[in-house]
């Protein structure tokens, strides 16, 4: 198994910085998800790991090998990095059968015919597509094509496997099924995996570690539990979780955090928080609560309801939040919110945790 070390990684396109000073240490055998909104730099980071883009600055190592160094303009070609990549578009050769698609990289790598046959049979069975071996890609479904693409990628036993939003073209049911297969395949192989997605459910289901990215930077890197339990920034708190944490904007005044003119929590002396964080299950819908709450939607989920709405009233700028409730609510309904006495965290104006 191979570690991945990223130190000071940056990528500029002209005057625009797509990736800014990223440093990560990925343990061998980890399944790391680069998670973030569109345009945050996660795909550019993956392309630099793959050797498809050259870094402007910083160093990438696979184990003890330097595979890219922006300072010296060195970049090892993709075919020499001992990696595999699964694309969003499957990228199967239409003129080859499923078996031939999987066998082709082994043939290029110089495997003997007997070795190729044994390995192809092994990965076909592992991904439960043995019955598709003699069909062309056009004769199998989208979900099956993605399994073929995964089989082709892992067949040469790469040290590193990269995934570029591989499930985004599948419908909801196939996404869940294929996601489970990806997790199982990762556990059965020794490769270190890096996976790009904007879907946090996907990330939380698959990852051993998550790097939450925003505006070209890594806001926080850690296990899913670490990120959910102790988000390092207001962005991580607002982005990760289903639903994410409740963030209320405000300011410090006379030792209290004030939201919409109401003191709601004590703050440390000398601090200037701009956001208070609460767990969505701890914020109650209560007609006698402190703040007006206009409901936008209510979604049933595993015996509870995820109720989304706006805090405040009138035409003022209002925080949009989602809380977990034991009762349903109607869009357009007006109620109020009751907050816990102590917030789960406070964040300053620059986003960091106090």
Q: With b meaning 16 or more CB within 10 Å and e meaning fewer, what string describes 272-294?
A: ebbbbbbbbebbbbeeeeebbbb
What pLDDT is stored for residue 234 in this prediction? 97
pLDDT at 177: 85
The residue-averaged pLDDT of 24-34 equals 97
Mean pLDDT, the chain, integer: 94
Could you tell me the fold of the domain covering 4-233? Answer: Rossmann fold (3.40.50)
Instruction: State yes or no: pLDDT of 89 exceeds 80.
Output: yes
Evaluate the omega torsion of the peptide bond into residue 243 and state whether it is cis, within 30 degrees of 0: yes
Q: How far apart are CA 243 and CA 280, in angstroms?
A: 7
Task: Tell me the sheet residues that pair with 293.
Answer: 311, 335
Q: Are strands 273-278 and 345-348 parallel, antiparallel or unpaired?
A: antiparallel
Which pLDDT score, from 0 to 100, does residue 314 have?
65
User: Which residue has better confidence, 175 or 352?
Assistant: 352
> Exposure pattern of 104-136 as b/e (b: 16+ CB <10 Å)?
bbbeeeebeeeebeebbeebbebbebeebbeeb
What pLDDT digit, counting tens, does each position of 295-343 carry? 999 999 989 999 999 998 766 667 899 999 998 889 999 999 999 999 9
The rounded distance, in Å, linking the Cα atoms of 63 and 81 is 11
> What is the tens place of the pLDDT at every residue in 247-287?
999 999 999 999 999 999 999 888 999 999 999 999 999 99
pLDDT score recorded for residue 316: 66
Mean pLDDT of 175-192: 88
**DSSP output for 9-60:** EEEEETTEEEEEEEEEEEPTT-EEEEE-STTSSHHHHHHHHHTSS--SEEEE
- Over residues 10-31, mean pLDDT: 97
- Give the start-to-end residue ranges of the domains of the chain: 4-233, 246-348
Per-residue pLDDT reduced to its tens digit, 241-250: 989 999 999 9
Question: What pLDDT, in 10s, does the model give residues 336-354?
Answer: 999 999 999 999 999 999 9
Q: Model's pTM, two decimal places?
A: 0.92
CB 336 within 8 A of CB 313: no
149-163, 194-208, 304-318, 324-338: least confidently modelled range: 304-318
């Amino acid at each position: 198994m191979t570690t991945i070390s990223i130190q000071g990684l940056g990528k500029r396109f002209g005057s625009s910085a797509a990736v800014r000073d990223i440093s990560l240490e990925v343990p061998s055998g980890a399944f790391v998800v680069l998670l973030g909104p569109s345009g945050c730099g996660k795909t550019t980071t993956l392309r630099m790991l793959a050797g498809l883009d050259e870094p402007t600055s910083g160093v990438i190592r696979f184990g003890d090998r330097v595979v890219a160094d922006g300072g010296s303009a060195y970049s090892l070609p993709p075919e020499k990095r001992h990696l595999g990549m699964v694309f969003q578009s499957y990228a199967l050769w239409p003129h080859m059968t499923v078996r031939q698609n999987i066998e082709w990289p082994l043939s290029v790598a110089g495997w003997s015919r007997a070795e190729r046959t044994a390995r192809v049979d092994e990965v076909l069975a592992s991904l439960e597509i043995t019955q598709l071996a003699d069909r062309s890609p056009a004769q199998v479904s989208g979900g099956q094509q993605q399994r073929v693409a995964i089989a082709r990628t892992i067949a040469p036993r790469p040290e590193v496997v990269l995934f570029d939003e591989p499930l985004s073209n599948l419908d909801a049911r196939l996404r869940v099924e294929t996601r489970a297969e990806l997790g199982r395949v990762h556990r059965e192989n020794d490769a270190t995996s890096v996976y790009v997605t904007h879907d946090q459910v996907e990330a939380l289901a698959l990852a051993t570690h998550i790097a939450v990215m925003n505006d070209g930077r890594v806001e926080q890197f850690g296990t899913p539990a670490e990120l959910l339990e102790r988000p390092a920034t207001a962005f991580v708190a607002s982005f990760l979780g289903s639903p994410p944490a409740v963030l209320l904007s405000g300011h410090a005044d006379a030792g209290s955090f004030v939201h919409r003119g109401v003191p709601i929590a004590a703050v440390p002396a000398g601090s200037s928080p701009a956001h208070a964080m609460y767990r969505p299950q701890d914020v109650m819908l209560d007609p006698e609560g402190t703040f007006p709450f206009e409901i936008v939607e209510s979604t049933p989920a595993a015996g509870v309801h995820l109720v989304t709405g706006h805090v405040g009233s009138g035409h003022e700028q209002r925080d949009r939040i989602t809380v977990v409730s034991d009762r349903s609510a109607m869009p357009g309904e007006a109620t109020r919110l009751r907050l816990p006495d102590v917030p789960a965290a406070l964040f300053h104006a620059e986003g960091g945790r106090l």
